[in-house]
Amino acid sequence: MLDEEQVEEVFRRLSEAMPGRIRCAKGPKGQPDAFRSCIACMLSAQSLDRNTAAATKALFKLARTPRAMLKLDEPTIAAAIKPAGLYNMKARNIRAFCAALLERHGDVVPDTREGLMALPGIGRKCADIVLQFTFGTDTIAVDTHVHRVCNRIGLTSAKTADRTAEQLEARAPEWAFHEGHFWLIQLGKRVCKARSPQCPRCPVNDLCEFAAPLRA
């Protein structure tokens, strides 16, 4: 992995080359509140954005609060969210999430990682995304793009997104947590693509571990 000074330099360059947080950034998939952000994030697992959007739109036509959601049985929820895939499992998780939210938190979504991850269906990535977009907490949420970019560059050395998130939390400079997620995800979408990374135009290619053979 890159050393501390190199990690700092990577984030400094990304802060200059990539767009950061935008003022109109909303909850996951554009949802307006913490509850619907959590549900949308749960539905997005192994689902294309357009399929997640279709599923959330159909589900929130039926219910928009935990109490209303629990009035729906699993088959009804599963039918609504079918475009997102894994609909039976996700329907069970949604009902369990709503029940736990009412029983433990009085219908209020917790605003801490620990509180969110204690709820059914909410993992590290989903918790951090909700914290970042909905509650405005400075954290680097790790999705597919961020996981790929960080391990290619050498910011982290991890096989899972959760482990990448842990390493980033320990290694990234404090000042980078506010917008680091945005810089990394844009690098992954624009330059460090999964199948055809465009190393020559990357702002950190002289530091990147993945690009090292190209410099030899």
The question of whether 159 is a catalytic residue gets the answer: no
* Helix residue ranges, H only, the chain: 4-17, 34-43, 49-62, 66-70, 74-80, 87-105, 113-117, 124-133, 144-153, 161-171, 180-190, 212-215
User: Is 33 designated active site?
Assistant: no
Q: Which amino acid is at 149?
A: V
Distance from C-alpha of 30 to C-alpha of 129, rounded to nearest angstrom = 12
CA-based end-to-end distance of the chain: 18
Task: Name the active-site residue from 82, 111, 138, 143.
Answer: 143
CA angle 156, 159, 164 (to 5 degrees): 40
Residue type at position 69: M
d(C-alpha 137, C-alpha 129), whole Å = 9
Name the nearest CA neighbour of 184 among 214, 139, 215: 139
Show Cβ contacts of residue 18 under 8 Å, excluding neighbours closer than 6 positions: 182, 183, 184, 186, 187, 190, 203
Q: Are 167 and 124 in contact (CB under 8 A)?
A: no
> Of 29, 90, 125, 128, which is the active-site residue?
125
Q: Which residues are catalytic?
A: 125, 143
